[in-house]
Amino acid sequence: MGGRLTFVQGNEACVEAALYAGLDFFAGYPITPSTEIAELMSVRLPQKGARFMQMEDEIASICAIIGASLTGSKVMTATSGPGFSLMQEGLGYAIMAEIPCVIVDVQRGGPSTGLPTKVSQGDINQARWGVHGDHSIIALTASNHQDVFAMTVEAFNFSETYRTPVILLFDEVVGHMRERLLIPESGEIPLVERLKTSVREGVDYHPYLPREDGRLPMSDFGGVHRYNVTGLFHDMWGFPSDNPQVVHELLRHLVDKIESHVDEVTRFREYYLDDAELLLISYGSAARSALHVVMDRRQHGERIGLLELQTLWPFPTALVQEKAKHARYVVVVEMNMGQVLQSVKVAVDRPERVFLANRVDGVLITPFDIRNILRLIQGKGV
């Protein structure tokens, strides 16, 4: 296997992957702990003839990338919790107008200014529900730099496939930690390019008329088809409509195009699940500590396993139900007050057997923390 071996921060791995995926335009605003992404983009993008812009705030950043995406560009912005909150209206616009874009949230402690330099996984539900109105969303995460790379490329691929914004929910530890990254050779990971319309000039093009497979071929702004894009409910021309049937169909389409493809967008890793009585479910940097516990306890003969989620939204309910079927206990390891825990409880057959192992003080949850909680659950005392 070829490629280029590097020793980088997680934020750098994200940048490398975005460039690998063909990023054309990045707009952002400085915020810890995501700033390195913007800094590196300002160096790297012009080197390949692409463009970086530092905007006046995060609202402008997401708006600028949406505008750029309409010209056919692959686009990205990166931020952290407070900036992610500011982006929610723009995010909703991209969902409604079906414009591909990738938004990175390197999570820090919140609410509010919170803990700018410390780790948290507190934005999981904001990623799902921060936008007003009914909608669906794709959100991915990763626990190590190779997966940061893979998930970032996936984010671009999913955003093009489903014509939707995709959120990358990294966290401060993954963002700032340094470890090895093997950058794959060009072509090693397949890239999804924008589906362009085959409708010729002079023939009526309907930007919002889905094909039979639900996909909508696009035409670039500046190209031969002129059409309207709006955040209002709209008909197949993109013109505003409050016709109940138009509204009904569009809303169903926006939700169904993602919810009916849960299997296609579900990414995960599993460790020792075959005979696990004790199932840990984790993601992001917390999954590193969880994996450490699993390896350690396996050496002591304990039947313990780890399901590491990489797709958080749409939540892989069927996967979690299946993997938890034979577990006596399920323990969700995360650095929040139980945001993924809730989805796991809904997914499994016996929610009373689901427990939370968490830490919310800005410190990475340790294997020691997890083991103590496991002992309590198993009635062994600490």
Give the interface with another protein as residue ranges (CB under 8 A). Answer: 24-25, 27, 43, 46-49, 51, 53, 55-57, 59-61, 63-73, 75, 89-90, 93, 221-224, 226-232, 239-240
Rounded least distance, CB 73 to another protein, Å: 5
Each residue of 58-67: b (16+ CB within 10 Å) or e? Answer: bbbbbbbbbb
Residue linked to tokens 């997401």: 62
Q: Which residues contact 319 (CB under 8 A, 6 or more apart)?
A: 266, 268, 307
Nearest-approach distance from CB 199 to another protein, in angstroms: 15
Separation CA 88–CA 84 (nearest Å)? 7
In the complex with another protein, the residue whose CB is nearer, 70 or 294, is 70
Q: Cβ 13 to another protein, closest distance in Å?
A: 21
Question: Which of residues 55 and 251 has its CB atom nearest to another protein in the complex?
Answer: 55
Q: Which is nearer to another protein, 29 or 355 (CB)?
A: 29
When the beta carbons of 200 and 380 are compared against another protein, the nearer one is 200
Give CA–CA dist 203/193, Å, rounded: 24
Strands 115-119, 101-109: parallel, antiparallel or unpaired by DSSP? antiparallel
Closer residue to another protein in complex, CB, 48/325: 48
Question: Cβ closer to another protein: 24 or 154?
Answer: 24
Task: Output the smallest distance, CB 143 to another protein, in A.
Answer: 32
Angle ∠(349,354,355) on CA atoms, nearest 5? 175
Q: How many CB atoms lie within 10 A of CB 242?
A: 9
Residue 73 or 285: the one with the smaller Cβ distance to another protein is 73
> What's the rounded Cα separation, in Å, for the pair 178 and 380?
36
Least Cβ distance, residue 203 to another protein (angstroms): 15
3-state SS, residue 46: helix
Minimum distance between the CB of residue 201 and another protein, rounded to whole angstroms?
9
Residue 97 C-beta: closest distance to another protein, Å: 9
Q: Are strands 304-309 and 75-79 parallel, antiparallel or unpaired?
A: unpaired
| CB distance 224 to 204 below 8 Å | no
